[in-house]
Each structure stands twice: as C-alpha cells, then as structure tokens.
C-alpha cells in the first residue's frame, strides 16, 4: 500500500491530467482490503490456537479434579499427594501455554525470513568479464537484434542490424513507443536482447565486465531521477 502511494506521488501529474479517474482510490482500496483479509486470516489461526489451548487446560484441570477427588474419597491418595500432583500438572500446562503464546512471534519471524529470502535468492548481475581498453573509441555493432516482452503481441525491436563507428554521430528517430529507449538500454547493457548479438569492439557484450563498460558511456533516460544525498 505504501508503495502504491509512492507511485501516485511520483506520477501525480499523470493522475491530474487524467481528469476524474478513480484508479488511485480503487487500487488503494483493493490493497487495503487484501491486507485486512490477510491479517484477519492470520488472527483466525491464532484465535483457534488460543481456544484449543484454553479448552485443553479446562479439560485437563477438570479431569484432574475428578480423578484426584475420587482417589481421595477412596483413600487411595491423601490430600498432600493430590495437591502436589495438581501443582505439578498445572505448572506443565502453564509452560505449554507460554510456548503456544510465543507462536505468534515465531510465525512473524518465519514470514520475515521468507520475505528476506525472496530478495536474497534473486539472481545477481554478473560482474565478471573482460575490461578492454577503449583508447581508440568504441565500435558498436548490432547483428539482428530482437527484443520482446511477454505481455505484448508485437516485438519492440525486430532484426535490428547496424554498426556505429567511433566518433560518429547517429540520430535514432521514431514515434513514441517505437523502441528508441529500448535500443539505448540494449546498447548500454541495462537489458539483454531476446535474440541476435551485440558486439562492442568485435567482442560480445556478454563477455565484458558490464560496470566497466557502462563507465565508458554517457546516457540519460527519462526514467532517471536525481538523488538527494544530504
């Protein structure tokens, strides 16, 4: 929910220009309802455990009183033995009760570990590779580059082949959504093509140390933001 509010703040101009759209409120309501439903299901499990714990405690205590009382009446146990046995059993039940009451914190710990695992288990970008010298400039060659995403029927880029020589000026022109920014992201190594090959000074970009290669480039995308560091 906090992420969605941040997205609205980041795109506030788009929401204002859209007029009377209710997307922001509707999405926020869906997220809140989902959160409340998850919390309700969470507490249902805890309530069930508490009810079972109390029922178990009542049943054990009542059974102890009945059995102990019968044994005392039949003179098979004296009052001291009965009281001692009752105290020991109640102490055991109290210890089990404390253990069950601590399950909520245990569940929260497991949930936190699961969320942490989703971050830690993500595949990191490889920082291995060659660091060639670019003293004579950079030659960029695209060989039938193709890029597509799963939620679009058409390719964003398809069979793009070109060669950019050092110290040359190239203008990439096209309509909005034609794939200009995608092409620049491919050349800068931000994303990988789904087909074709990209060569930097006759070397595959996959064989280069990406951070070293990017340090040789200057670029600015619309999605870049200035950061406040103080």
The string of DSSP letters for 200-219 reads: ETTEEGGGB-HHHHHTT---
Most confident by average pLDDT, 42-46, 99-103, 194-198, 213-217:
194-198
How many whole angstroms separate alpha carbon 25 and alpha carbon 73? 70
Q: What is the pLDDT of residue 228?
A: 46
Q: Which of 172, 188, 173, 198 is nearest to 223 (CA)?
A: 188
Q: What is the pLDDT of residue 227?
A: 43
Bridge partners, residue 204, by sequence: 199
Least confident of 17-26, 33-42, 220-229: 220-229
How many whole angstroms separate alpha carbon 171 and alpha carbon 185? 15
pLDDT single digits (tens) 102-155 = 777 887 888 888 888 888 887 777 778 888 888 788 888 889 889 888 777 788
On whether the pTM is more than 0.85, the answer is no
Q: At what angle do helices 2-10 and 23-73 cross, to 10 degrees?
A: 170
Q: What is the pLDDT of residue 128?
A: 81
pLDDT single digits (tens) 164-194 = 888 888 888 888 878 888 888 888 888 888 8
How many C-beta atoms lie closer than 10 Å to residue 157's C-beta? 20
């Amino acid at each position: 929910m906090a992420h969605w509010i941040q997205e609205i703040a980041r795109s506030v101009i788009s929401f204002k220009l859209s007029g009377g759209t209710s997307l922001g409120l509707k999405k926020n309501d869906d997220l809140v309802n989902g959160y409340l439903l998850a919390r309700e299901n969470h507490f249902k499990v805890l309530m069930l455990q508490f009810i079972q714990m109390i029922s178990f405690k009542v049943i054990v205590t009542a059974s102890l009183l009945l059995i102990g009382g019968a044994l005392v009446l039949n003179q098979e146990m004296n009052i001291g033995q009965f009281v001692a046995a009752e105290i020991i059993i109640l102490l055991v039940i109290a210890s089990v009760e404390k253990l069950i009451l601590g399950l909520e914190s245990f569940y929260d710990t497991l949930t936190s570990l699961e969320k942490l695992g989703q971050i830690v288990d993500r595949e990191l970008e490889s920082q291995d590779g060659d660091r060639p010298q670019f003293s004579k400039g950079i030659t960029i060659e695209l060989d039938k580059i193709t890029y597509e995403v799963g939620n679009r029927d058409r390719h964003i880029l398809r069979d793009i082949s070109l060669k950019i020589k050092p110290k040359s000026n190239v203008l990439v022109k096209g309509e909005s959504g034609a794939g200009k920014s995608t092409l620049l992201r491919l050349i800068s190594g931000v994303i990988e093509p789904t087909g074709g090959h990209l060569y930097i000074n006759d070397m595959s970009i996959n064989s280069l140390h990406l951070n070293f290669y990017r340090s040789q480039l200057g670029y600015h995308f619309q999605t870049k933001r200035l950061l406040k560091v103080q």
